[in-house]
Amino acid sequence: MSHNINPNLVEPRWLQTLLIAVALFFLLLMLVIPLTAVFYEALRGGWQLYLASLSSDEARSAIRLTLLTAAIVVPVNAVLGIAMAWLLTRFDFYGKQLLTTLLDLPFSVSPVVAGLMFVLLFGAHTLIGGWLEAQGIQVIFAIPGIILATLFVTFPFVARELIPLMQAQGDSEEQAALILGASGWQMFCRITLPNIKWALVYGVILTNARAMGEFGAVSVVSGHIRGETNTIPLLVEIFYNEYNFIGAFALSSVLALLALATLALQNLITRIQEKKLAAAERSAA
């Protein structure tokens, strides 16, 4: 049975070609060329100079601090994201809409403002910060401040990936498991977690990428103490301002590789989901 398509509802070939050309030109100009320039500048002095830049004391300290921050922030926000998504999708309570709105606060507030909030809260001359320093705990211009600032700016990613999925799935399977005698932990591990695992992984990937690349909030709370509180993005700025272009672009290439790995992993997860969905549709048919 043939179907006639109204030619008025189909874009002409020349318009399709023009739109594709504009999109490709934009991607080439804004993404491909700058990314290629980063790797070119990083390797322009040769591999030895590139590796020497990455193995300097400051670079190794920045890489360690960045990995440490991500290693703490990602699991914490994964747990908090699951808890927040569970709260907002499984319970009705007064103030739920307000809490849902506040969840997006890190998206709407400038990272610089977020960093300043922590300075005003935990600074040495504040009530809380002064008391903590009296106990020997320094938050601002130290690693705890960097971790807190990164936690704040990356907090919504996992929850925002889970909430739409958990709302669409509902809680019928979980209620059935509880009725059949499963404990709350068994229900979560065998029903909830398998159903949300891909969205959780996707949210964790986004959280990790943002944690490693965060600049604004970390810049405010770090104090830029060389060899101690500089993450990779902060050290890139310092090297560039000091005309150490090889070091700046070498560290930038590390962040670029992390971004490319993140995109590749996201694409892999999407393909796996599509294959599983297609298999489920075939088995249902």
Q: 30-39, 59-68, 187-196, 270-279 — which is least confidently predicted?
A: 270-279
The yes-or-no verdict on residue 2 having pLDDT over 50 is no
The yes-or-no verdict on residue 180 having pLDDT over 90 is no
Give the percent of the chain with pLDDT over 70: 96
Which of 167, 168, 159 is CA-nearest to residue 200? Answer: 159
Query: What pLDDT, in 10s, does the model give residues 37-89?
Result: 999 999 988 899 999 999 999 999 999 999 999 999 999 999 999 999 999 99
The yes-or-no verdict on residue 276 having pLDDT over 90 is no
Q: Say how far apart CA 247 and CA 253 lie, in whole Å.
A: 10
Q: Say how far apart CA 255 and CA 45 lie, in whole Å.
A: 19
Residue 148: the pLDDT is 95
Query: What pLDDT, in 10s, does the model give residues 205-264?
Result: 999 989 999 999 999 999 888 889 999 999 999 999 999 999 999 999 999 988 888 888
Residue type, 97: Q
The yes-or-no verdict on residue 284 having pLDDT over 80 is no
Over range 171-198, report the average pLDDT: 88
Long-range contacts of 32-40 (CB under 8 A, 24+ apart): 35/256, 38/249, 38/252, 38/253, 38/256, 39/249, 39/253, 39/256
Long-range contacts of 64-68 (CB under 8 A, 24+ apart): 65/143, 65/146, 65/229, 65/230, 65/231, 66/212, 66/231, 66/232, 67/212, 68/143
Q: 267 vs 11, which has greater pLDDT?
A: 267
Q: 12-16, 190-194, 218-222 — which is least confidently predicted?
A: 12-16
pTM to 2 decimal places:
0.85
The yes-or-no verdict on residue 5 having pLDDT over 60 is no
Residue 9: the pLDDT is 59
Query: What pLDDT, in 10s, does the model give residues 224-241?
Result: 888 899 999 999 999 999
